[in-house]
Structure 1
Amino acid sequence: MTLFGIDVSSAQHGIDTGAVPSDIVMIKLTGGTGYVNPDFDAELAKAKADNKGVLAYHFYHEEYLEGTPDQEAQFFLSHVMPYLDGTVGVALDYEPTPTGRFNALDPAQSKAWCDIVHAQSGVVPWGYGPVSTIGAGLRSVSDAGYPIWAAAYTLGYQPIYGYTPPVGPLGVPAGMNVKMWQFTSSGHLPNWPNELDLNIFYGTRAEFDALCAVGGAINPQGYKPTPPSEDDGMSQAEVLEIQGFIDTLQTELQKSVGEVTQQLIQDQIRDLTAHVDASIQAALFASEKFDQKAGQDEGAVIINEVRANANMLVAIAAKNAPAVAAAIPADIAQAVADELAKRLTETK
């Protein structure tokens, strides 16, 4: 079993963490010795109202607000303690800062922060960092048994639609106890127009909740990932097939459609793409039922709907992208092409 989640901060001001599809939400609370996310309360409330798991995290050495491990831990604790009711976990974001003011990662500092927070809050902290630096910055945290949340963008900054993690995470140092993987910062989900950090947690909701419990004990042997089940819903191949339709369509549009017409068509594509994404999420979140007959029937219906929507996307460009149009049934292509022609006429 796996869970999917998003990572948000004030950079996602206005996001409805309850409406954007996810099982868990990681929210920045503090940074250094003086920064507090002004959107934390709103983001937390919406996530909890939708019964999502939550991690509150601290960004170490926020630029120009740097402190010692104890100072930064105490600052974080002074703000996070009121929220620690057994349903909110904690994490340390330990990575080089954007301008390079802090890039000499010291595993003794990250472990000291985690030890202080664990001792005073009773909640087991996570250690987060890019896969390129977790060996240097979080090795002692991992060796102590704290769970690791690694960022590894194996596809770089290529857009990823829905929770479709590529092969990975790649480059994790041997022996690191990676329990959660942030696989992109260029993710796209329904109900939010901009890019998001997307994550996959290797375990069940009960396992995630256990890491939020007050009085939780660290495991010196580390947390071992729970392998995802073969019945965990819509396969990656299914989703990639759908995304292939969209990618092919966009390529053909670039080749063969004039700028004005292309913009009009792309407006329609944007709406239908959102519908496809929503259908993908519906299929993924129906995954827990796929090992039961009723769930299989439901999943089959959803997948068929997704494929139909993908075909509609391709058909929109039927008159302007012949190579794509040839791959779909003529009646579908003609119906959507007629609708497109009607809309283009109305727009003139």
Structure 2
Amino acid sequence: MILRRALILSLLALAACGRPGNPPPADPGTLFPARFSDSDPVDFNGRNPQSFPVHGIDVARFQNNIDWNTARRNGVNFAFIKATEGGDLKDINFDTHWQGAGQAAVKRGAYHFYYFCTSPEDQARWFIRNVPRTPGMLPPVLDMEWNPFSPTCAHIRPPASEVRDQMRRWLAVVERHYGQRPIIYTTPKFYRENGLSGFNGYDFWLRTTAKTPAEAYPGQTWRFWQYSATGIVPGIGGDVDLNAFSGNSAQWQNWIATRAAR
């Protein structure tokens, strides 16, 4: 009876591991090619984002019930996860996404959506309060774009010099805490209007879903390119943002070795 019970339990365990959509975690050092599709594909004049070998996603409250193991095996090698907004808003899915990505050995980082009606120091402290300093995490991200939806902040658009000053103050506080210089995410309009080309020494994550980064941000070097908001990735229900890393696989490993938190 004992042997029979042990056999049944073993078979059940094997069946669970082999269920479609529930594969075991892959080796942390493995890079997977992107097996993505797009519900609204764009022709980048022959400069296909798929020419870059390392791809990932960014997620927020809009993505629910992600099967991170399946997503990773289909090319999600990294994920930027929305953590906070302003000085008092936390994304409702941050903890779930952070834990799930970590368990699947997806390289993960957290981002903060900036508001202009709260001081940069308060916003930096709010981000730090909600994002654990985790060994191996990607550098924190400052998301800078105009916010037309906030009932309190949408109308506040400081002059470019003040925008840059507030950014530097947030970046300094967060860098001291995490020990890594943050990444700057932005859009073409915000980048142009606020002179962000002056942030030398920072890695940029650039949104441009209709043109290549070279066309949308002339002369600007970049580390990540958000090239689609309508990606389709196995393991994720609905559309998701797609991103590419700027270098080859060896450059990715070197970047991780120097830029991941310790």
Q: What TM-score comes out, normalization by structure 2 length?
A: 0.68
C-alpha contact 2:142 2:184 (8 A) present in aligned 1: yes
* Partner residue in 2 for 1:5: 56
Q: Which has the higher contact order (CA 8 A, sep 6+)?
A: 2
CA offsets, 1:47-70, max 9 Å, x none? Answer: 1222211110111018xxx31111
- Could you tell me which runs of 5 or more consecutive residues in structure 1 were left unpaired when the two chains were aligned: 156-166, 215-348
Larger Rg: 1
Taking the aligned partners of 1:59 and 1:85, their CA distance within structure 2 comes to 23
When residues 193 and 13 of structure 1 are mapped into structure 2, their CA distance, relative to the original with a 3 A threshold, is closer
When residues 88 and 180 of structure 1 are mapped into structure 2, their CA distance, relative to the original with a 3 A threshold, is closer
Aligned residues: 197
* Partner residue in 1 for 2:26: none
C-alpha contact 2:227 2:244 (8 A) present in aligned 1: yes
Match of 2:92, SS state, is coil
Taking the aligned partners of 2:185 and 2:128, their CA distance within structure 1 comes to 18
CA offsets, 1:227-258, max 9 Å, x none? Answer: xxxxxxxxxxxxxxxxxxxxxxxxxxxxxxxx
Question: Equivalent of 1:14, from 65, 68, 73?
Answer: 65
1:113 matched to 2:170: yes
- Stretch of structure 1 that moved more, 105-114 or 146-155: 105-114
CA offsets, 1:195-232, max 9 Å, x none? Answer: 11100011313313522224xxxxxxxxxxxxxxxxxx
Letter in 1 for 2:166: Q
CA offsets, 1:124-173, max 9 Å, x none? Answer: 20000112222344626632x11000000116xxxxxxxxxxx5552114
When residues 168 and 61 of structure 1 are mapped into structure 2, their CA distance, relative to the original with a 3 A threshold, is closer
When residues 173 and 137 of structure 1 are mapped into structure 2, their CA distance, relative to the original with a 3 A threshold, is farther
* Partner residue in 2 for 1:199: 243
Letter in 2 for 1:208: I
Taking the aligned partners of 1:15 and 1:169, their CA distance within structure 2 comes to 32
1:25 matched to 2:79: yes
* Partner residue in 1 for 2:256: 208
When residues 58 and 94 of structure 1 are mapped into structure 2, their CA distance, relative to the original with a 3 A threshold, is same
1:70 matched to 2:121: yes
Taking the aligned partners of 2:111 and 2:257, their CA distance within structure 1 comes to 16
- Could you tell me which runs of 5 or more consecutive residues in structure 2 were left unpaired when the two chains were aligned: 1-51
C-alpha contact 1:18 1:48 (8 A) present in aligned 2: no
When residues 201 and 84 of structure 1 are mapped into structure 2, their CA distance, relative to the original with a 3 A threshold, is same
C-alpha contact 1:151 1:182 (8 A) present in aligned 2: yes
* Partner residue in 2 for 1:83: 133
Question: Equivalent of 1:122, from 179, 187, 196?
Answer: 179
When residues 188 and 86 of structure 1 are mapped into structure 2, their CA distance, relative to the original with a 3 A threshold, is closer
Q: What TM-score comes out, normalization by structure 1 length?
A: 0.52
C-alpha contact 1:60 1:94 (8 A) present in aligned 2: yes
* Partner residue in 2 for 1:149: 205
1:94 matched to 2:130: no
Taking the aligned partners of 1:50 and 1:206, their CA distance within structure 2 comes to 21
C-alpha contact 1:125 1:146 (8 A) present in aligned 2: yes
Taking the aligned partners of 1:136 and 1:213, their CA distance within structure 2 comes to 32
C-alpha contact 1:114 1:141 (8 A) present in aligned 2: no
When residues 138 and 87 of structure 1 are mapped into structure 2, their CA distance, relative to the original with a 3 A threshold, is farther
* Partner residue in 2 for 1:133: 190
Taking the aligned partners of 2:86 and 2:257, their CA distance within structure 1 comes to 27
C-alpha contact 2:232 2:239 (8 A) present in aligned 1: yes
When residues 195 and 84 of structure 1 are mapped into structure 2, their CA distance, relative to the original with a 3 A threshold, is same
* Partner residue in 1 for 2:42: none
- Stretch of structure 1 that moved more, 16-25 or 26-35: 16-25
Taking the aligned partners of 2:89 and 2:198, their CA distance within structure 1 comes to 24
When residues 48 and 135 of structure 1 are mapped into structure 2, their CA distance, relative to the original with a 3 A threshold, is same
Deviation at 1:103, TM superposition (A): 3.9
Question: Equivalent of 1:179, from 216, 223, 230?
Answer: 223
Match of 1:11, SS state, is coil
C-alpha contact 1:111 1:141 (8 A) present in aligned 2: no
